[in-house]
Amino acid sequence: MAIIINLDVMMAKRKKGLTELAGQVDITLANLSILKNNKAKAVRLQTLDAICKALDCQPGDILEYVPDEEEHHE
């Protein structure tokens, strides 16, 4: 997938751990971990909104578009 989730980077910048952020966002540790480890297939805008509020950041600070290698060779 060409979308990279840099949640771990923003969490480190804001010095927030998984448990603290999960509580603020009202998301399970398991689901937050899936997002943090870039394993998510989708993210609700409501969840993204809550994460941005908790980390005081913009969606673009968390989400990044990196073209797949396959797309470069077409």
CATH code of the domain covering residue 46: 1.10.260.40
Distance CA 3, CA 24 (A): 24
Structure tokens at 37: 């480890």
Kindly report the average pLDDT of the chain as a whole number. Answer: 91
Cα 7 to Cα 11: distance, rounded to the nearest angstrom:
6
In a domain, 30, yes or no: yes
Domain range spanning residue 57?
Answer: 3-68
Helix (H, G, I), strand (E, B) or coil at 57: coil
**37 belongs to a structural domain:** yes
For the chain, the C-alpha Rg in angstroms (whole number) is: 13
Segment 30-40, tens digit of pLDDT: 999 999 999 99
Residue 9 lies in a domain: yes
Give the model's confidence band at 46: pLDDT under 50 very low, under 70 low, under 90 confident, else very high.
Answer: very high
Cut 0.95: pTM above it: no
Q: Domain tally for the chain?
A: 1
Residue 46 inside a domain? The answer is: yes
- Give the per-residue pLDDT at 2: 87
* 73 in a structural domain: no
